[in-house]
Amino acid sequence: MAPRKRNLFDPQSDQPFRLSRSKIDLYLKCARCFYLDRRLGIAQPPGPPFSLNTAVDELLKREFDECRKAQKPHPLMTENGIDGVPFDHPDMDVWRDSLRRGITYLLPNIPLLITGGVDDVWVNPAGELYIVDYKATAKNGEVSLDADWQIGYKRQVEIYQWLFRKNNFKVSNTAYFVYCNGNKERSNFDARLDFSIKVLPYEGNTEWIESCLTQIFQLLTSSMIPAASETCAHCAYRARAAKVEVWDNESR
């Protein structure tokens, strides 16, 4: 498969380069994989589609949109003592469209257009926005935000908080995860999956974002491929495969 030709950073171009929230997270996980993807057009192999998660997202959005129209709190908000309602704004569908639109901000001194697609936004009586993200899983026990790998979830809502602030909205430091956990303990499937739902608050910190974006721009304008991350499974696979291929060729 040939390298991708579209959506590549061109150091000679004076046009803003569109950089999504997910690609910022890729950079933080592995600068080498990020560079190969955004500069050279060599992306990581795609993972399987999370169709069940998408279905849960769509159903939650429908529920919250009904409350948005009526400007009343969703029962989950009431049960968790959250004083507010789903935010009613004409750009809500634009903000949710992470692939083509989303909420965006063009950095003033760096030609990067930062984008992100939110699941939901709530607003309290003081006019502060709560960034909301839906998550779905199926695990034993209670869901939480305590696992090391969930740092990606936290960075996700922090970038959304930052984007909304840059678009002149008043944003609370508190974000919420609507976390749906599929019940695997039922004796029969009966073509139905039941979920327990928890609303987990998280206090975001966006101070890291702008320095991170500066580092990303410096990397994109560089001609040197970064070293492999010690924790990157993709880099480890490529390195091991390359050693075997060299050994195999030399042994013939």
- pLDDT computed for residue 14 by the predictor: 84
188 assigned to some structural domain: yes
Residue 117 is assigned to a structural domain of this protein:
yes
β-strand pairing of 174-182 with 112-116: unpaired
CA gap 221, 113 in Å, rounded:
15
- Long-range CB contacts for residues 46-51, cutoff 8 Å, separation at least 24: none
Decide if 7 is inside a domain.
Answer: no
Helix, strand, coil percent content, the chain, rounded in steps of 5: 40, 20, 45
Total domains in the fold of the chain: 1
Residue 3 lies in a domain: no
pLDDT on residue 143: 83
pLDDT tens-digit profile, the chain (252 residues): 567 788 899 999 989 999 999 999 999 999 999 999 999 999 888 877 666 788 888 899 999 999 999 999 999 999 999 999 999 999 999 999 888 889 999 999 999 999 999 999 999 999 999 999 999 888 888 887 788 888 999 999 999 999 999 999 999 999 999 988 877 777 677 667 777 889 999 999 999 999 999 999 999 999 999 988 888 889 998 888 888 876 555 555
**pLDDT of res. 54:** 83
**150 Cβ contact list (under 8 Å, min separation 6):** none
Domain CATH for 128:
3.90.320
Which pLDDT score is estimated for 251?
Answer: 54
What integer pLDDT is reported at residue 230 of this predicted model?
85
Does a structural domain hold residue 161? yes
User: Is residue 77 in a domain?
Assistant: yes
Domain of residue 165 covers 17-250
Both structure tokens of 216: 């990303």
DSSP secondary structure letters along 69-95: HHT---HHHHHTT---EE---TTHHHH
pTM for the model stands at 0.91
**Which pLDDT score, from 0 to 100, does residue 110 have?**
92
Contact 27, 219 (CB under 8 A): yes
From CA 74, how far away is CA 87, in angstroms rounded?
A: 12
The verdict on residue 6 lying in a domain is: no
**10 within domain boundaries:** no
